[in-house]
């Protein structure tokens, strides 16, 4: 049995008197790659906040890397979690190498008077090479394409050697080619970082990497299904979560979804 990296047990969450989550439970094991799926407003961002040790539950138990939220110093815990946010709020023209190195300091900018050692520099260069960015180390952040930025941010998240990697809609704003390059990079993590668990948030099935092992499907703050991806991502479950008839297909390890026309449904029912 895989070592639990993330555990949610009957978690609820209320904000400003509104119930956001209702009894959410699931467990992520080491080396597993989970997809967190559901329509807008389903509660995906709230669940990701628990995964990143940012949000405390109203009731229930959340354990991240074996430590229970509410009984651990959060800042220390977050240093063991890699977080890839395509809306990275960097405003300075740092080099690509500098952006990756900020993953070691947990900061957006390079801290004053901080200098990486030779081993840290080598690790940063190795990660850039692994993501096809070896020739970009001295390029400036504002000059990168969105796809290049996505790969840089994955390298940044991985440089501290996290046991848990969170990917928050990493394909946001990418064209088809850039999306495919990014998904190929994510698929490569299964080989380069085999013990690292991941949780990827999306509401597009086409954005699921082929290495996805499990899925959590949410709707209205409730779990529709959770478990091995082939059992969860089905036409029946996805249709229930999105409250619309959707046909789901899987081909060569990749998923696609297509809504059934209401006219054809009416004809079938007549």
Beta bridge partners of residue 18, listed in sequence order: 15
Question: How big is the CA angle at 184 (ends 195 and 218), to the nearest 5 degrees?
Answer: 70
Two tokens, residue 186: 């994510």
The answer to whether residues 16 and 180 touch, using CB atoms and an 8 Å cutoff, is: no
Query: What percent of the chain lies above the pLDDT cut of 90?
Result: 63
The Cα 131–Cα 188 span in angstroms is 9
pLDDT digits (tens, 9 = 90+) for 218-262: 999 999 999 999 999 999 999 999 999 999 999 988 999 998 876
pLDDT digits (tens, 9 = 90+) for 63-120: 999 899 888 777 778 888 999 988 888 888 999 999 999 999 888 888 888 888 999 9
The Cα 72–Cα 76 span in angstroms is 8
pLDDT digits (tens, 9 = 90+) for 145-167: 988 999 999 999 999 999 999 99
The Cα 48–Cα 36 span in angstroms is 9
Query: Closest Cα to residue 134, out of 148, 117, 145, 120?
Result: 148
Residue ranges, CATH 3.40.50.300, the chain: 4-80+162-269
Q: How far is CA 156 from CA 217, 229, 258, in A?
A: 28, 27, 35
The answer to whether residues 51 and 216 touch, using CB atoms and an 8 Å cutoff, is: no
Residue 59 reports pLDDT greater than 90 = yes
Tally of residues, the chain: 270
Query: Closest Cα to residue 99, out of 54, 144, 132?
Result: 144
- Close Cβ partners of 125 (under 8 Å, ≥ 6 residues apart): 97, 134, 137
The answer to whether residues 36 and 218 touch, using CB atoms and an 8 Å cutoff, is: yes
Taking domain 4-80+162-269, whether its CATH number is 3.40.50.300 is answered by yes
């Amino acid at each position: 049995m895989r070592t639990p990296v993330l555990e949610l047990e009957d978690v609820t969450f209320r904000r400003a008197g509104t119930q956001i989550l209702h009894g959410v439970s699931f467990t992520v094991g080491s080396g597993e790659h989970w997809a967190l799926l559901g329509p807008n407003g389903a509660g995906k961002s709230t669940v990701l906040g628990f995964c990143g040790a940012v949000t405390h539950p109203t009731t229930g138990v959340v354990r991240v890397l074996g430590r229970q939220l509410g009984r651990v110093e959060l800042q220390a815990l977050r240093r063991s979690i890699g977080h890839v946010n395509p809306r990275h709020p960097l405003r300075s023209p740092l080099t690509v190498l500098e952006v990756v190195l900020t993953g070691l300091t947990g900061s957006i900018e390079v801290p004053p008077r901080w200098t990486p050692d030779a081993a840290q520099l080598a690790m940063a260069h190795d990660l850039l090479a692994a993501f096809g960015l070896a020739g970009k180390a001295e390029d400036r952040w504002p000059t990168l394409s969105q796809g290049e930025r996505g790969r840089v941010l994955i390298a940044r998240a991985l440089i501290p050697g996290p046991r848990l990697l969170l990917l928050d809609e990493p394909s946001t704003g990418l064209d088809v080619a850039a999306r495919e390059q990014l998904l190929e990079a994510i698929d490569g993590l299964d080989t380069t970082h085999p013990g690292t668990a991941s949780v990827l948030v999306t509401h597009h099935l086409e954005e699921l990497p082929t290495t996805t092992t499990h899925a959590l499907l949410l709707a209205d703050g409730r779990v529709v299904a959770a478990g091995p991806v082939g059992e969860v991502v089905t036409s029946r479950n996805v249709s229930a979560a999105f409250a619309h008839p959707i046909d789901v297909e899987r081909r060569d390890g990749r998923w696609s979804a297509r809504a059934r026309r209401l006219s054809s449904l009416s004809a079938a029912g007549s």
